[in-house]
């Protein structure tokens, strides 16, 4: 039996091995993904992002526990290198995480963050897809809320939860990083801090001002392939039927977590009934095709080019003998 078939039959050891293969893009990766792909699309994939110090790992932990209590199986994918799930934990976090260990309904996977971040987004997508095919009901992706890589990874989530916390030196940290724009649900964690009401007020003001869009701003990132999708073209124009809610939590004692789970359920229902789910999946597919296409095209081109000639070309650019675009034209026309 193939590794992919073992994954589909619920074999945990096969799951772990398959995840290593797709994460490392090892031999057999494409075969596994091609076999598993038809079995994906069922999990509720939830991205949890936020600046360091907001307590998003604790939120992930509490969400997993709450979902387990409701009988759901949960996969956790930690992309944040500072997450306790990836080993970068402070003691308190590690102790709390024991709540989840030993539960067969939970599978925790942390991504190796070495290598390119573009590759990381792709590897994360594949890991999530394998967990999806392995029939986890909910998959939580934890990323540190900082920059494009997180946006890329969040794109693979159907619901995005952005975690804020009071007292991080700024009223609302994530605004500056452009992370709030991708939020479907905002969480103000550490709400037992007296400054929490300020944080909530700041966020509410921004939502009211219409500065934020719950619709994800992913159109121009992969321009060319997106043009083929009418839904994506209409993205900026579309009136959005979802009001981004702000949920206050205290993850350390579980306050607000049940409400948060309910909000995520509501968001999933909204996604399906509004057609937004279909639209997000189209955009996701186009974006992924674009990434894979670029990868494959450059592989094919460079396979036909001599390494020595390539080094000479780079040197000509370094010495200003040739402008970068002129060098690329030479490569494309095969006139090296």
Q: At its nearest, how many Å lie between its own copies and the CB of residue 133?
A: 10
Q: At its nearest, how many Å lie between its own copies and the CB of residue 75?
A: 19
List residues bridging with 186 in a β-sheet: 162, 246
Cα–Cα distance measured from residue 15 to residue 23, given in angstroms and rounded to the nearest whole number? 12
Q: Which two tokens stand for residue 181?
A: 């724009």
Q: At its nearest, how many Å lie between its own copies and the CB of residue 321?
A: 8
**Piece of 1-9, 154-162, 254-262, 306-314 that binds its own copies (CB under 8 A):** 306-314
Please identify, using beta-carbon distances, which residue of 16 and 314 lies nearer to its own copies.
Answer: 314
168 in helix, strand or coil?
coil
Sorted by sequence, the CB contacts under 8 Å of residue 335 that are 6+ apart come out as none
**Piece of 7-15, 35-43, 62-70, 256-264 that binds its own copies (CB under 8 A):** 35-43
> What does the per-residue mask of binding to its own copies show for 42-81, with x meaning CB under 8 A?
----------xx---------------------------x
91 binds its own copies (CB under 8 A): no
Based on its alpha-carbon atoms, the radius of gyration of the chain, rounded to whole angstroms, reads 22
Please identify, using beta-carbon distances, which residue of 101 and 319 lies nearer to its own copies.
Answer: 319
221 binds its own copies (CB under 8 A): yes
Footprint (CB under 8 A) of its own copies, residues 117-136: 117-118
Sorted by sequence, the CB contacts under 8 Å of residue 51 that are 6+ apart come out as 144, 145, 146, 164, 165, 168, 173, 174, 177
Please identify, using beta-carbon distances, which residue of 63 and 153 lies nearer to its own copies.
Answer: 153
Cα–Cα distance measured from residue 110 to residue 87, given in angstroms and rounded to the nearest whole number? 8
Q: At its nearest, how many Å lie between its own copies and the CB of residue 160?
A: 16
Please identify, using beta-carbon distances, which residue of 1 and 318 lies nearer to its own copies.
Answer: 318
Please identify, using beta-carbon distances, which residue of 53 and 254 lies nearer to its own copies.
Answer: 53
Instruction: Return the residue of 9, 116, 211, 253 that touches its own copies, per CB under 8 A.
Output: 116
Instruction: Return the residue of 69, 94, 204, 294 that touches its own copies, per CB under 8 A.
Output: 294
Tell which residue, 152, 154, 187, has the closest CA to residue 172.
Answer: 187
Q: At its nearest, how many Å lie between its own copies and the CB of residue 103?
A: 28
Please identify, using beta-carbon distances, which residue of 73 and 126 lies nearer to its own copies.
Answer: 126
**Piece of 101-109, 184-192, 234-242, 288-296 that binds its own copies (CB under 8 A):** 288-296
Q: At its nearest, how many Å lie between its own copies and the CB of residue 62?
A: 21
Q: Where are the alpha helices (DSSP H) in the chain?
A: 3-8, 12-23, 29-36, 56-69, 91-97, 117-133, 148-154, 174-177, 196-208, 223-226, 230-233, 257-274, 276-303, 307-318, 324-332
Contact call for residues 62 and 257 (beta carbons, < 8 A)? yes
34 binds its own copies (CB under 8 A): yes
Q: Which two tokens stand for residue 79?
A: 């992309």
Footprint (CB under 8 A) of its own copies, residues 137-196: 144, 146-150, 167-170, 173, 176-178
Q: CA 249 from chain center: how many Å?
A: 22
183 phi-psi bin (left φ>0, alpha ψ -120 to 50, beta other): beta
Tokens 């702000």: give the residue. 246
CB atoms within 10 A of CB 309: 12
Instruction: Return the residue of 13, 104, 209, 224 that touches its own copies, per CB under 8 A.
Output: 224
Footprint (CB under 8 A) of its own copies, residues 242-281: 278, 281
């Amino acid at each position: 039996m193939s590794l992919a078939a073992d994954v589909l039959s619920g074999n945990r050891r096969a799951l772990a091995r398959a995840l290593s293969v797709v994460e490392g893009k090892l031999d057999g990766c494409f075969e596994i993904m091609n076999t598993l792909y038809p079995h994906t699309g069922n999990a509720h994939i939830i991205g949890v992002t936020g600046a360091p110090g907001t307590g998003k790992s604790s939120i992930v932990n509490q969400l997993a526990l709450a979902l387990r209590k409701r009988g759901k199986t949960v996969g956790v994918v930690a992309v944040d290198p500072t997450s306790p799930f990836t080993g970068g934990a402070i003691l308190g976090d590690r102790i709390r995480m024991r709540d989840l260990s030993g539960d067969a309904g939970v599978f925790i996977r942390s991504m190796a963050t070495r290598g390119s971040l573009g590759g990381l987004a792709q590897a994360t997508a594949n890991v999530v897809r394998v967990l999806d095919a392995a029939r986890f009901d909910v998959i939580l992706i934890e990323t540190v809320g900082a920059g494009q890589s997180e946006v890329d990874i969040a794109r693979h989530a159907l619901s995005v939860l952005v975690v804020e916390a009071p007292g991080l030196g700024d009223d609302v940290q994530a605004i500056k990083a452009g992370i709030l724009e991708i939020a479907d649900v905002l969480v103000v964690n550490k709400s037992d801090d007296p400054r929490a009401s300020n944080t909530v007020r700041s966020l509410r003001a921004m939502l009211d001002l219409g500065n934020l869009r719950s619709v994800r701003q992913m159109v121009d990132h992969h321009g060319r392939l997106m043009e083929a999708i009418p839904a994506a073209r209409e993205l900026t124009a579309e009136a959005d039927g979802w009001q981004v809610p702000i949920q206050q939590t205290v993850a350390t004692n579980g306050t607000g977590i049940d409400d948060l789970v309910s909000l995520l359920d509501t968001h999933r229902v909204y996604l399906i009934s509004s057609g937004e789910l279909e639209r997000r999946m189209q955009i996701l597919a186009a974006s992924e095709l674009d990434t894979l296409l670029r990868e494959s095209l450059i592989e094919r081109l460079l396979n036909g080019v001599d390494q020595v000639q390539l080094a000479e070309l780079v040197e000509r650019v370094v010495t200003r003998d040739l402008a970068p675009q002129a060098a690329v034209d030479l490569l494309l026309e095969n006139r090296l």
